[in-house]
Structure 1
Amino acid sequence: MFALGFFLLAGLLCQSLGQYDYYDEYYIPSAPLEGVSSPTCAQECECPLNFPTAMYCNERNLKFVPIVPTGIKYLYLQNNLIEEIKTGVFDNATDLRWLVLDNNNITSDKIQAGTIDKLSKLEKLLFSNNKLTKPPGPLSKSLDELKLIGNQLSSFPANTLSGMENLTTIHLSKNKLTTESITGAFKGLKSLVLLDVSENKLKKPPAGVPSSLLMLYADNNDIDSIPSGYLAKLPVLQYLRVSHNKLVDSGIPAGVFNVSSLLELDLSFNKLKSIPEINESLEHLYLQVNEINKFDLTNICKFSSPVNYSRLRTLRLDGNNITHSSMPDDTANCLRQASEIIFD
């Protein structure tokens, strides 16, 4: 399982480096091509003899979840035509750790009681690109990753994730969630490091997120302001992405982004007219396609000296109303570590 863990970690890290593309697929190993399955395996699937704890049922046009035999820890059901999860299919799967259900047609009302809620050792639930209107549950307290991308979620009850102290990553992008519908949803998640709520209907960043958070992605929403002191409550946050929203200068309180933990800040594709105040520790600042009309160097460097300067390596200002000639004379001293400053 070391190899699987390595690829999962690599996928997480790739999300947080530089200007980026979201990944939509999880690393799923293919079934070994040996043609021999365990005799207890469901006939619709494969259970390789050299990986006896895995059952591969992916890409088989299945319309149902087969009975899972005892001893299976990793179950791959992605890319099928499954519409429901019937009672009894997981009765013997008391050791199941990973359940992959991406790219099916499952609706919330077709997940019967006594199925997913019985999987007390489940660590990863990958349930993207289905037709869920609410999160499945109750879920295992052992869960460390929840992925519900591309469903039709419009509600997320506050107690859904209660007591899940091992949960580290939550992917909720491409749904219909509002700011109100996720209020209190992430309270008490002491291990949470990544929260992705991109492509929803939020008007404010999610409230009540735990102080352990390292990465918060809220691109492609309707966010028009950041609450005062919002980042002060997230003392280890390193990556904040709020591109493709409706942010304006009046919705950015003074100093709200001036926190020393932040390494990457993406405010591109908004309606800002000035460069917001940032901390000198920030390394990547994306402001392309706003309405910025002046280069206010003091919001990047309060003053410059041999020991006081910005750590910015990337600054994007293309698609605004300023050019290279707009930079003040002292810019080179302030941005001495910058390797990429982009105008039109």
Structure 2
Amino acid sequence: GIYVLSQNRLVSISVLKMANTGVLPFVRGVDFSRNDFSDGRFPQSVRLMSGVQWLKLDRSNLTQVPEELGHLMKLEHLSLTHNGLEKLFGELTELWSLRTLNIRHNKVRSSGIPAQLFHLEDLTTLDLSHNVLKEVPEGMEKARSLLVLNLSHNNITAIPNTLFVNLTDLLFLDLSHNQLETLPPQMRRLANLQTLILNHNPLGHFQLRQLPSLVGLETLHMRDTQRSPANMPTSLEMLSNLRDVDLSFNDLPKVPDALYTVPTLRRLNLSSNCITELAMALEVWQNLETLNLCCNQLTSLPASLCKLTSLRRLYLNNNKLDFEGIPSGIGKLVNLEVFSAANNHLEMIPEGLCRCGSLKKLILSGNRLITLPDTVHLLSELQTLELKDNPDLVMPPKPLEAQRGAGVEFYNIDFSLQNQLRLAGAAIPAPSPVTGASKDPIARKLRLRRGKRDHEEADSDQAKILKGMKDIAKEKNKQKTLEEVKAESLKPKRWDESLEKPQLDYSELFDEDAGQIPGLTVWEIENFLPNQVEEVAHGKFYEGDCYIILKTRLDDSGNLQWQIYFWIGEKATLDKRACSAIHAVNLRNFLGAECRTAREEQGDESLEKPQLDYSELFDEDAGQIPGLTVWEIENFLPNQVEEVA
């Protein structure tokens, strides 16, 4: 059984009642989070839960590990986050079944962690982040089974050479937000490592010589690590699995040459550097989906950028790009969904950008725009168009084909001459034969010269037109009367801009870290208040209850995005229905989110078909031929059985 006793001030009585029924040995998981276990209030009956496999004691005012845990010999997952623990000496070293230990957000020192803890043979996940460690705990190199190690947000100044000698099975390593100046050479033994996070460390003198040996690496984050051309490797071609690289907030004047040797990149973040130009060699990134070049010194983009046909998100905010700096062939990026170029020097955008049929977000605020191509109205997938802080902008009129009730196709009539003659029964004249003119090489040269001269004159005329439109817009602004200015100041605000956030203490309703970590968070309405539901109980909704669901994710600029829903059970009482709606709005105000709260009722949920690539599961001709087809489940996937079987 699974029991959730979080925020239950009578937890000791509840456990005592359960002990009297004899049910405790059959309990498999308990959540005691948000109870007050200070001053020895931890229930002694917990020792009777001999079969418990997971236990959560988050935010329970614990200052030491309860000795009752030493009797839970089948415990596999233990979470003690957000407490006041300073040391882990106690019963943890006797829990031989322990696989996951989460001690983040405490006050644990290196001297308070017993070396015997790392002798637990099944320990695979260890989270010691957000503590006060100054060095790696003694004996950690003995934890040979570790797959996930998080030592971030501490004050560690050095990694001992012996740490990575035996930890060769590590898949995830987070050393960010420490004071590391170098890493041991033995790190090259981590051939299975998939994720390495080193953000916010003073690694200016670290040469990354071990990096090419990490052949299994998929994610490399080195934000704010003093990267420069002098301390970057010359090649990373050995990292054939590398997908995600973050080198933002460094001192790079150009894209490191080593990145051009990694054709497997899918996400690249080079924002907040000093990059002035991009090399033509970037066409090697044929799998790249997200490219972030915000806050650099770019004045133009190379034409080879248009060959990145897999690109879906392109961020160019806060650069020095103008109209000529955007390649005219950008329309070849048929999969582009986000083009963000705010705070640049754009007076126009290439018409080719409006041929990106998949474009959903077009961010051009803070530029010098005069107008946009007429075809911007034909972007059928466009959801967001931001054009604020462009004082001279004049939007183009909608073309006829974009207006309802306009154009030949609306009337379904063919007005061509040939069709009208055919309908009238008249003879359709035969097309006159085209006689081939004799080739004259001298005339051809004259035409080419004349064409070049006409093209230069056209460019000059275009520049004059742009300047004229800008002058006209400025003159109109000068001619505005005082009454017009007053009238503009009286324009009503949008409904969402006029709303004021009520002065409430939302900390009594939601945790301070709610919505700060990507993932799913669920609250149920209990006694008129939201009560957070543990992750293991997600998806188990009862028809007599109401729930608030928060989906948190990071966009490609690293900003948090939220979606808020409140779900109403079919038999829920009126007060629960009202509280779920009210607290959903309170959650939005607490987060400072701009999204709307979506109402979902049992039996009338808005289901969306997941965007999956089913071709990896089934053949394209499955279900297209009459007959019987059978699949067997093998390694979690459907495997088609031959007809003879």
Q: TM class, shorter-chain normalised? A: 0.7 to 0.9
Equivalent residue of 2:55, what SS? strand
Q: Alpha-carbon deviation of 1:186?
A: 2.7
**Aligned-residue CA RMSD (Å):** 2.9
User: For residue 336 of structure 1, what is the aligned residue in structure 2?
Assistant: 334
Asked if structure 1 preserves the Cα contact closer than 8 Å seen for 2:128 and 2:152, the reply is: yes
Change (3 A) 1:50 1:238: farther
- Check 1:248–1:51 CA distance in 2 against 1; reply closer, same or farther (3 A cut): farther
Q: TM-score, normalised to structure 1's length?
A: 0.78
Task: Tell me by how many angstroms 1:94 deviates.
Answer: 1.2
Aligned-partner SS, 1:186: helix
1:240 corresponds to which residue?
Answer: 245
Aligned match for 1:156, one of 156, 159, 163:
159
128-137 or 322-331, larger mean C-alpha shift? 322-331
Number of aligned residue pairs: give it.
Answer: 302
Task: Please identify, of 53-62 and 41-50, the stretch whose mean Cα deviation from structure 2 is larger.
Answer: 41-50
Paired amino acid for 2:265: L
Q: In the alignment, what sits opposite 1:54?
A: 54
1:74 to 2:84 alignment:
no
User: Distance in 1 between the 2:88 and 2:50 partners?
Assistant: 28
2:224 alignment partner in structure 1: 220
Contact 2:208 2:232 in 1 (8 A): no
Q: 1:340 to 1:30 in 2, by over 3 A?
A: farther
The answer on 1:169 being equivalent to 2:192 is no
Distance 1:280 1:167 in 2: 28
The offset of 1:105, in angstroms, is: 0.6
TM-score by length of 2: 0.43
Q: Does 1:261 align with 2:264?
A: yes
Rounded Cα–Cα distance in structure 2 between residues aligned with 1:83 and 1:265: 39
Q: Render the CA deviation track for 1:284-333: whole Å, top value 9, x for unaligned.
A: 111010011222223x35xxxxxx65322221111001034422333323
- Of 90, 94, 97, which aligns to 2:99? 97
Match of 1:125, as an amino acid? Answer: L
SS class of match (1:125): strand
Is residue 293 of structure 1 aligned with residue 295 of structure 2? no
Separation (CA, whole Å) in 2 of partners of 1:222 and 1:79: 32
The one-letter code matched in structure 2 to 1:55 is L
SS at the partner of 2:163?
coil
1:264 Cα shift? 0.7
Distance 1:327 1:48 in 2: 69
Cα separation, 1, equivalents of 2:123 and 2:159: 20
Percent identity over paired residues: 23
Aligned residue for 2:190? 189
Using the alignment, how far apart are the partners of 2:94 and 2:246 within structure 1?
42
> How far apart are 1:227 and its partner, in Å?
2.9
- Which runs of no fewer than 5 residues in structure 1 stay unpaired? 1-28, 302-307
Q: Is it true that 1:313 corresponds to 2:312 in the alignment?
A: yes
Shift of 1:143: 1.1
Contact 1:269 1:288 in 2 (8 A): yes
CA-CA distance at 1:154 after TM superposition:
1.0
**Judging changes above 3 Å, is the alpha-carbon distance between structure 1 residues 55 and 330 closer, same or farther for their aligned structure 2 residues?**
closer
Deviation of residue 48 (structure 1)?
Answer: 9.6
Shift of 1:338: 2.1
Counterpart amino acid of 2:187? F
Structure with more contact order per residue of length (Cα contacts < 8 Å, sep ≥ 6): 1
Alpha-carbon distance in structure 2 between the residues aligned to 1:217 and 1:320: 23
Task: Give unpaired runs (5+ residues) of structure 2.
Answer: 19-23, 31-39, 343-645
Whether the 8 Å contact between 1:147 and 1:171 is mirrored in structure 2 is yes
Q: Which SS does the other structure have where 1:265 is aligned?
A: strand
Equivalent in the alignment of 1:63: 63
1:163 deviates by 2.4
Tell me the residue number matched to 1:112: 114
